[in-house]
Structures are given as C-alpha cells and as structure tokens.
Amino acid sequence: MSSAHTSGVLPSDTSQDVRTRAAGPYRQVAVLPVGSYEQHGPCLPLATDTLVACAIAREIAAAYPVHLLPPVTISCSHEHAAWPGTVSISSVTLHAVVRDIAQSLRRSGVEALVVVNGHGGNYVLGNVVQESADSGVRMALFPAPEDWEAARERAGVRTSLLSDMHAGEIETSILLHCHPELVRPGYESTDFIADDRRHLLTLGMSAYTESGVIGRPSLASAEKGKQLLATLADSFETYFSLVASDASAGGAPKTSDPGAPHRL
C-alpha cells in the first residue's frame, strides 16, 4: 500500500517507502497520471483531467503495491485552443516526457510503468506504450474504453460514452466525489449533446459546443463518482498482473489492447 497523498494530487512517499515496496514479491510498478490543462466549461476547472487521472491513480495506489508518481499536468489539448486558459504541448514533447520518465525509472530499478490517462486527446500515449516493447520497461495504458464502460454501468451513469465526451456526467461525478469544492454552481443547467463530431480534429471543439460542455453534467453525483473509481480499481487487477509479473516466468495473463480513453 502507498502512504497518504497530499492534497489528493501529489504522492507523499519517502525514498524508504519505495525501497520497502521494492523488496516485495512483485516487479516494481510505477503509475503515472497524465492529465491536461484545458477548458471544461463554465463549472469545472482547467485541471479537471489531471484531477481525474490523479483520482484514478490514487484509487489504484490504495489497492495495489505501486509506486505512485506526480502527474503530468499539461498535454495535448489543441482542440480546446478557442477557450481562454487552455495550454498545450506537442505530441512529440509528451511522447518524449513519458519516454524519459520510463527510462529514469528503469535506471532506479523500476521496470514497469502504467500510464493513467485522463485526457482523450492524448492519442500519442498509445504510441508510447506500443513502442516500449524493446525499451526494457514494460508499459500499459489505463483505462481502456471497456474499463470506462464497465465503470459507467456499475455506477449507474445514464449518459453513453459517446455522448459523455467532455465535462459531462462522468467527470463531474468524479470531481463531486473527490473535489466538490472545485465544482462551480450551475453545472445542473449546462447539458449539451453533440454526438456527431466527425470533424473534431479539423475544426476543434468550438465547432460543436459554445459552452465547452458535451455531455449531461446535470446527472452527476458524488456517489456515481465513488463507484466509477471503485470499478476502475477493480479493472486494474489484470493490468497489474500483466506488468508486475516476471516476463521470464511467462505467467502474465493475456488481455485485449488497452486502446485509448475516449474523453476529451
């Protein structure tokens, strides 16, 4: 188990904590939350994706012997550039940052890394994981769309994954559970649906929503947020088995390609 975490975002492990876990029966597994700094409508903070990724990672760290890392807080949010406050880095830079983190972990004896992605626009993270086969660091990307679907069903989220794209029922629920003080009043009246977004990459989000919201935050609740996180922690068990087991032992179970989270 990891120790307590400051402000719900930054891990408070000491070097001795990491050394103690390294003496356990598993290959050391680091968990890296990757979020974004982008608009989330009028009621959720720019750091929403980072807070969601950290909440998932924190839930994982409470259930599995992992080395929780601080988050990457700025990523590929170019589709949100029309709104004030959004900050992006290039996909090349994000790729390099995650790759460098993995190699630094390897030098310190950590040979497995799970990237917890909170922003659907970080497509390049899938490439980082794909390219890690010969890097000496076993990597995985979490959660997959299937993990989100299982969490949505168990939590009673009524909006489909297609419709719940940004600042909707899922993200608002998680923040109501973990950081209710950051959810501004009025989210109950900002619902907006735009299921046909086929030109999103060309036109950006502003072509589909004026408020920045695509989803139904009015349906959000703290209890749904709690259940979403609990289900994702359960889903992580297979990922942990894959990356924590010794590759030479051949004991890792097979699973489907983790893919990329859908939400932006």
Q: Model pTM?
A: 0.90
Direct distance between the N- and C-terminal alpha carbons of the chain, in angstroms, rounded to an integer: 31
263 has a pLDDT exceeding 90: no
- Tokens 């109950």 correspond to 188
| Rounded-to-integer distance, Cα 159 and Cα 216, Å | 7
| Rounded-to-integer distance, Cα 90 and Cα 149, Å | 29
Q: Work out the percent of the chain whose per-residue pLDDT is above 70.
A: 89
pLDDT, tens only, 25-68 = 767 899 999 999 999 999 999 999 999 999 999 999 999 999 99
Q: What is the pLDDT of residue 182?
A: 98
For residues 97 and 25, which has the higher predicted lDDT (pLDDT)?
97
Summarize the chain as % helix, strand, coil (round to 5). Answer: 45, 10, 45
Domain extents in the chain: 5-249
Long-range contacts of 160-163 (CB under 8 A, 24+ apart): 161/262, 162/195, 162/262, 163/193, 163/195, 163/214, 163/215, 163/216
- Tokens 């492990």 correspond to 13
Asked if 102 contacts 130 with a C-beta cutoff of 8 angstroms, the reply is no
4 has a pLDDT exceeding 50: no
Question: How would CATH label the architecture of 5-249?
Answer: 3-Layer(aba) Sandwich (3.40)
